[in-house]
Structure 1
Amino acid sequence: MNMNALIKKLKYTPILVALLVSGCTKNFEKINTDPDALHDVPPQNMLVNVMRYAGDQFGGDVDGYGTFAGYIVKIQYPEDLSGLTPSNNTYGNRWAACYYNITQMLDLLKKTEKNAEGYKNTRLIARIWNNYMWSYLLDGWGDVPYSEAFQGRPEDGSILKAKYDKQEDIFPAVLADLKSIADEMAGGIGTDEMGDYDVIYGKTNSGSADIKEQMLRWQKFCNSLRLRMAMRISSVAPALAKSTIEEIASDKNKYPVIETNAESCQMFFPGTLPYMEPWYESGIYGSRINNWGMFDIFINHLLETKDPRIAAIAQKNNAGKYIGFINGSKDNPSPATSISWIGLHYINDPAGAVPFFKACETYYILAEAALSGYNVGSLTAKDAYEKAVTLSMEDNNVAASDVANYLSGEGKFNNTKERVYWDMWVALFKENYEAWSLYRRTGIPNTNYPSKIQKFKEPHTDQPFRLPYPNNEYLYNAENVKAAAAGTVDYNWGKRLWWAKENGKE
């Protein structure tokens, strides 16, 4: 079964799951039961559903995180930041998507508990994905319901108003769970095959599913996610960050990581309606590509550093030049083609991919780790940096000669973290959420700025520090969410996340 057919078959899985757990009278259930409907959703179906849901929810961002990261600006309807409120479902839906996905995976684990060995691979993937969802929540909101989450049913504790745990407590817990998964996978995988139900790693380079290669890639994503999360907290929990990264780097056989672009964690789409890559569906199929322009700071940096990735990242304007645009201009560019739009490499493939972790990220992290004095084996900071750049360049179809010119020119390694951060910022394009996190953690790009047409009493001088807690939390868990939000200003500024850099902006 191909992915397109599989996803169509599973289109209404969330509705089915909701119906399965709802309480009704015995006679009502009997009368209203569809004899042709699924009475119990198979575990693999639940897994593909949450992956698809994540791809739709987290991959459709063009502006928003793309603007926060310093990449893309709105040009038809300029950003004024007024949408960053609890009632804006753009962000509330992503909060809900994370908790929905975790709920589904916990249900999967519960269903397969009696035959855990028979579903070993399915369960391992579910646990990895859950931790990725937690990392997403931590990077967007910081303090979130964790220890008391998913305990609303009477048999689970009847906790309807979960407390918010501190992010500094959740990070170690998530890293510990990822380590336990990594150790289990190092001891061997299961026999259950996922095939097309795994819409991320279900196909190897040969085009056919191979369970060993498939699970090896999940194992690599697990350890790469550990690297990312450890480096995220390196300035506030240095001992944990150092020990985690050194453990992984010292034993690549036990803890393999993503090393090639083919291994990158990304979800490809079938390419036909209703399952097109989100940027293509909105920008090309939906004819909205002229709604967005490239952020002036991004184009300026690419031009100043003579970065050959610019040809993939952006389009030339009507005069054959790369021109960026202001974030929050009162006037639209005239004509719209007088500025650079998003590059066709990233927006013009209906069967394109949503990236969750690019291979180059592994080596940028290791380069930074080496510069921090961590023991990352025989790999030097320069070697790791150049490997990262090369992977990113190849991912953008840059010729080898141009890569060499860049690495010997403006992109030459200079033994500083700033060089690593600047290049990593470029490389993370389209992985906008992670790029926004990089900016908040490192302050790079230090040229970044928020919209110039804000509608706040006191305009902010920085991009949002965090995301607004969703409106439903204020409606149904008000006491706990208000305590968690204490110290925030305009919902998104004021108190920074635990691991974020204080850059003097407000």
Structure 2
Amino acid sequence: MKNNIYRLFLLVTFFLGVAACTNDFDEINNNVNSPTVDKAAPDQLLTNAIESMTDRVHEIFLGHEMGSCWAQHMAKVQYTDEDRYVYRPDVVNTTWSSFYAANGSDAALIYKLGGERSQPNYQGVALVLQAYIAAELTDLFGDVPYSQAWKGAGEDGGILSPEYDTQEAIYRDIIAKLDEANSLLDPDGTAIAGDILFKNDITKWKKFANSLRLRLLLRMSDRDASLATTEMSKIVGAPATYPIFESNSDNAALIYLGSSPNNNPINENRKSRDDHRVSKNLIDMLVDMEDDRLMVYANPAEGIDEFVGIPNGLTSADAAAYNGNGLANTSKIGDYFTAATAPGMLMSYAELQFILAEAAKKGYISGGDASAQTYYENGIKGSFEQYRAPLQAVIDADGTTLGGLTVPTSVDAAAANVIANQAYNANDALRLIATQRYLATFDQGLQTWFEWRRTGFPVLTPAVSGENGGKIPVRVPYPQIEATRNGTNLNTAIARQGADDLNTKVWWDVN
């Protein structure tokens, strides 16, 4: 809902009066002249927090022109600046303001209201949202305000110039907060309302909390394998206490309503733009692997009825001329992902299976190669199951070929083919697992880019006409607005972390 009354209150409590707005779900609160906590309703805040956070993660410039293009899932066919690593400072400013002043502030107030009203399930949900937001911020920028963020109100400390926490400290606290969330979330406790992600199902929030915790533990594991081993083993070893995703029915995916402004962000963008194509890197990988997910991820080029990707980082002129006619003769993003009701994925069962596969291979959880192989194959099966409906539609359509490729006989056969073609190999397991995770997270540009930075797989070639010294970015520079709003603390963070550019690695990135 359009909880402008609540956001106005929160902007006062956040540092330096950041102003922000998001696409919200429903109605405007009538009494905009009384922005008080007493009038805030956690269910209304929750609806807005979920939708606005998912919008930001999948926002076209951040999620796709940066995330998906830099991870080489997508590419630009015109206006190619971001694909050549020339990012827009205003996008970075908006990202920072939205995650802090909008999304994070909603979550902070939900937590506060849950405590005041003795509704711990709201507190648990709020901690999961805060963890997701904080992880996105630190994975984008590195050191960011965290422990002093959202404390601008006098009762919360009156901190208007928050210090920057190290990424290490942020990660350790996020992991602890997700453990706290699991403890707070009680399916038998007082019900919540306003949950458009899991329809007020607290068990699914517990699964999300623990699955997200596993994601973040693995991401920091090269820096602290001991913590990863202790915590991941604890979660996997006690499923009754720490439930995790068990199937695609548990996926953390927001199903958009399908009417403006509550459409999937790609759908909203495509109403007036035709800038994006599927990357040549991705299409070539899928063709080489005989992976029929290609028929969901991409459409055959309209001009030549073939699956043709476009190289990342062409100039606009070269992209327009590519393959004779870049707009007509390259593959657009598949219809499944551009539909108004396309899901905004935050985390999937398939991704979790690949996390567990890597954890088993590295010895963070028990089972060794035998378990790693099972998780690996479950991840592939889970990804195909996630796309069963659109792939089945291809199978059911008339014709035995699509874009020059043979249509599979069944979804299960297509999955089995990839499992056979990309068979688990103990000597090459980490590359195989990382590559399949990369393929399974199409349309999740930021997470795919984060993981590529951590693993280095698959091997990617920098943009053809990139403007970053022949390197793929591994970080987003801080927003320009921070230099004037919180310059002293910003400069301290830069001095500690390294140059404020696209190439300074964050703490967990030791690849």
TMscore range, shorter length: 0.7 to 0.9
Alignment identity in percent? 26
* 1:124-273 → structure 2 map (5 Å cutoff): 124-185=124-185, 189-194=188-193, 197-202=194-199, 214-273=201-260
Matched, 1:299 2:309: no
Tell me the distance in 2 between the aligned counterparts of 1:198 and 1:462. 41
1:83-116: CA deviation from partner (whole Å, max 9, x where unpaired): 436xx22122222222232222222332343321
1:178-229: CA deviation from partner (whole Å, max 9, x where unpaired): 11222343x65422232xx111011xxxxxxxx5xx1111000000001000
* 1:367-382 → structure 2 map (5 Å cutoff): 367-376=357-366, 380-382=371-373
Tell me the distance in 2 between the aligned counterparts of 1:145 and 1:276. 31
TM-score, normalization by structure 1: 0.85
* 1:389-428 → structure 2 map (5 Å cutoff): 389-397=380-388, 398=391, 399-409=411-421, 411-415=422-426, 416-428=429-441
Change over 3 Å in CA distance of 1:151–1:67 after alignment to 2 = same
Tell me the distance in 2 between the aligned counterparts of 1:452 and 1:245. 42
Answer yes or no: is the 8 Å Cα contact 2:476–2:501 preserved in 1: yes
**Which residue is 1:121 aligned to?**
121
After superposing the two structures, state which structure 1 stretch, 363-372 or 152-161, moved more: 152-161
Q: How many angstroms does 1:376 deviate by?
A: 3.7
Please, which runs of 5 or more residues in structure 2 have no aligned partner?
14-29, 392-410
**Which residue is 2:408 aligned to?**
none
Structure 1 consecutive aligned stretches of length 4 or more whose deviation exceeds 4 Å: 19-23, 33-39, 80-83, 487-490
**Which residue is 1:66 aligned to?**
68
Tell me the distance in 2 between the aligned counterparts of 1:191 and 1:111. 14
Q: How many angstroms does 1:245 deviate by?
A: 1.0
Q: How many angstroms does 1:38 deviate by?
A: 8.1
Change over 3 Å in CA distance of 1:17–1:405 after alignment to 2 = closer
Answer yes or no: is the 8 Å Cα contact 2:5–2:32 preserved in 1: no
Tell me the distance in 2 between the aligned counterparts of 1:235 and 1:35. 49
Answer yes or no: is the 8 Å Cα contact 2:9–2:35 preserved in 1: no
Q: Give the secondary structure class of the aligned counterpart of 1:293.
A: strand
May I ask how many residue pairs the two structures share in their alignment? 456
**Which residue is 1:92 aligned to?**
93
**Which residue is 1:5 aligned to?**
none
**Which residue is 2:305 aligned to?**
320
Q: How many angstroms does 1:460 deviate by?
A: 2.2
Letter in 1 for 2:297: I
Change over 3 Å in CA distance of 1:105–1:414 after alignment to 2 = same
Change over 3 Å in CA distance of 1:150–1:402 after alignment to 2 = closer
Letter in 1 for 2:191: D
Answer yes or no: is the 8 Å Cα contact 1:84–1:491 preserved in 2: no
Tell me the distance in 2 between the aligned counterparts of 1:437 and 1:79. 20
Match of residue 472, structure 1, among 470, 476, 481: 481
Tell me the distance in 2 between the aligned counterparts of 1:56 and 1:406. 32
Answer yes or no: is the 8 Å Cα contact 1:366–1:376 preserved in 2: no
Q: Give the secondary structure class of the aligned counterpart of 1:274.
A: coil
Change over 3 Å in CA distance of 1:501–1:299 after alignment to 2 = farther
After superposing the two structures, state which structure 1 stretch, 311-320 or 92-101, moved more: 92-101
Tell me the distance in 2 between the aligned counterparts of 1:51 and 1:484. 30
Tell me the distance in 2 between the aligned counterparts of 1:351 and 1:48. 17
Tell me the distance in 2 between the aligned counterparts of 1:389 and 1:34. 51
**Which residue is 1:28 aligned to?**
none
Matched, 1:365 2:355: yes
Tell me the distance in 2 between the aligned counterparts of 1:55 and 1:357. 11
Tell me the distance in 2 between the aligned counterparts of 1:53 and 1:95. 13
**Which residue is 2:4 aligned to?**
14
Q: How many angstroms does 1:324 deviate by?
A: 1.4
Q: Give the secondary structure class of the aligned counterpart of 1:266.
A: strand
Letter in 1 for 2:282: F
Letter in 2 for 1:241: A
Change over 3 Å in CA distance of 1:383–1:82 after alignment to 2 = closer
Answer yes or no: is the 8 Å Cα contact 2:281–2:309 preserved in 1: yes
Letter in 1 for 2:371: T
Answer yes or no: is the 8 Å Cα contact 1:70–1:448 preserved in 2: no
Tell me the distance in 1 between the aligned counterparts of 2:85 and 2:441. 26
After superposing the two structures, state which structure 1 stretch, 433-442 or 325-334, moved more: 325-334
Change over 3 Å in CA distance of 1:153–1:191 after alignment to 2 = closer
Match of residue 471, structure 2, among 462, 472, 496: 462
Change over 3 Å in CA distance of 1:371–1:115 after alignment to 2 = same
Answer yes or no: is the 8 Å Cα contact 2:10–2:105 preserved in 1: no
CA RMSD in angstroms comes to: 2.3
Q: How many angstroms does 1:130 deviate by?
A: 1.0
Q: How many angstroms does 1:374 deviate by?
A: 2.6
